[in-house]
Amino acid sequence: MDLGLAGRTALITGGSQGIGAATATVLAAEGVNLILVARNAARLEQTRQAILDEFKVDVCVAAHDLSKSEEIATLASRYRNVDILVNNAGSIPSGSLFEISEARWREGWDSKVFAYINMCRTFYPIIKERGGGVIVNVLGTGSLRKDPGYCCGGMGNAALDFFTQTLGASSPRDNIRVVGISPGSTDTQRHRKLADAAGTAVSEKAALPFQRLAQPQEIGFAIAFAASQKSAYTSGAILVVDGGKSVSNKIF
């Protein structure tokens, strides 16, 4: 299906690997020019080259730590041609209220919650100036699970759920749509590392719908559709992509 995205420009945070890189590849296949942002410059360049080897699109890369608002301002000063913003970067630690120190809690929220807020605060006016566009926030199902062992992350997800829905409720007046994509367990390098460290890699798959993790490109396809005119009447909504686990009473 042609999503009608050719010639648009998408800025993807966390674009060097995992869901971000997969989304970049999906969008490049649709003819979207890319601005990929992450902290690791070498990994960004590898992703850039892999996309250029396969697709005829423009790919810029920018190494920034988006937990720092001044780096977001620098990014915005360089790139004023953004039609689609995909907020995907950030990592919030697992652990209970008593296992995560205040410093780690703040660091995790700075890397994701406040990074998303500040990216939207900064790039929303830029997108509006260009006549409109789409913001896609990649969230997470932690807000649905109410897991005491993921207190910091679940609360962060819940805050971003509310933020996405609230911003998306008013953004159509500016010809901007704001949509959330909330992945379940996804086969990324970060997820594999955490599962291996916890010794749950084998047992986890057996407990998941379809007995497998989601693939990053499956999340990328959902993001691309949400960003396209095929989803032109969608704003303030969150699509959960977790195989149905969060809404099922069944233990898979």
What does the pLDDT profile of the chain (252 residues) look like in tens digits? 789 999 999 999 999 999 999 999 999 999 999 999 999 999 999 999 999 999 999 999 999 999 999 999 999 999 999 999 999 999 899 899 999 999 999 999 999 999 999 999 999 999 999 999 999 999 999 999 889 999 999 999 999 999 999 999 999 999 999 999 999 999 887 777 666 655 565 556 778 889 899 999 999 999 999 999 999 999 999 999 999 988 875 544
Distance CA 176, CA 74 (A): 23
Buried b (16+ CB within 10 A) or exposed e, 76-107: beebeebbbbbbbbbebbbbeeeebeeeebee
CB neighbours of residue 62 within 10 Å: 18
Q: Which class is domain 9-194+219-241? A: alpha beta
User: How far apart, in Å, do the first and last CA atoms of the chain sit?
Assistant: 32
Cβ pair 48, 20 in contact under 8 A: no
Do residues 140 and 182 touch, judged by C-beta distance below 8 A? yes
pTM, two decimal places: 0.93
